[in-house]
Amino acid sequence: MTEAKPERRFIPCRIAVLTVSDTRNAADDKSGQTLVDRLTEAGHELAARAIVTDDIPAIQAKMREWIADEGIDVVLSTGGTGVTGRDVTPEAFEALYEKSIPGFGELFRMLSFQKIGTSTIQSRTTAGVTRGTYLFALPGSPGACRDAWDLILKDQLDYRHRPCNFVELFPRLREHERRKPS
């Protein structure tokens, strides 16, 4: 069983929230606000927030900007992970990954199945890491964002969580960039 170790100090992450939508704006972005509320309540810092259209170049431009920003550790996106023609977030994200984290989407769908049944199969939730930045693409519903945060991300982005967590890996995520060519 997993647990938090109180003798380890909390290390806040700097998290950017990206909403991918052709219809949302700052006033009605409930999913993005759900993520902002959850991450700040947990003690993390909101490093940036934006809304972009369901367009691969637009998504990737914002992602590249945030990946290059040393002040951002994690990007959480919401929206565009379904199977319709406009749902392109997974394609945009996966093209940027240095390493994918397939277990994230698998675990999300397993947990989601307990709440929405077989409808979870329509989610193409994905995660990866690039240049030391964790990237998580979540569905566009507030409920899915709550589930992803409460059931997975809250623990994995908490350094006190044992037996392991994403935060303790930050110092090693860019090891491959420091290797000397043979």
| Number of domains comprising the chain | 1
Question: Is residue 175 one of the residues assigned to a domain?
Answer: no
pLDDT recorded at residue 8:
87
Q: What CATH code is carried by the domain that includes residue 35? A: 3.40.980.10
Residues 89-106: what's their mean pLDDT? 97
Top pLDDT among 2 and 105 is at: 105
Which of 172, 181, 177, 161 shows the shortest CA–CA distance to 5?
A: 161
Residue 6 has pLDDT above 80, yes or no: no
pLDDT recorded at residue 177:
86
Residue 5 has pLDDT above 80, yes or no: no
Q: Which residues of 71-96 are buried (b: 16+ CB within 10 A; e: fewer)?
A: ebbbbbbbbbbeeeeebbbbebbeeb
Question: Is residue 174 one of the residues assigned to a domain?
Answer: no
Cα gap 31→139, rounded to integer Å:
9
Question: Is residue 182 one of the residues assigned to a domain?
Answer: no
Residues 105-133: what's their mean pLDDT? 95
Question: Is residue 179 one of the residues assigned to a domain?
Answer: no
pLDDT recorded at residue 181:
67
pLDDT recorded at residue 176:
86
Q: What domain range is 114 assigned to?
A: 11-168
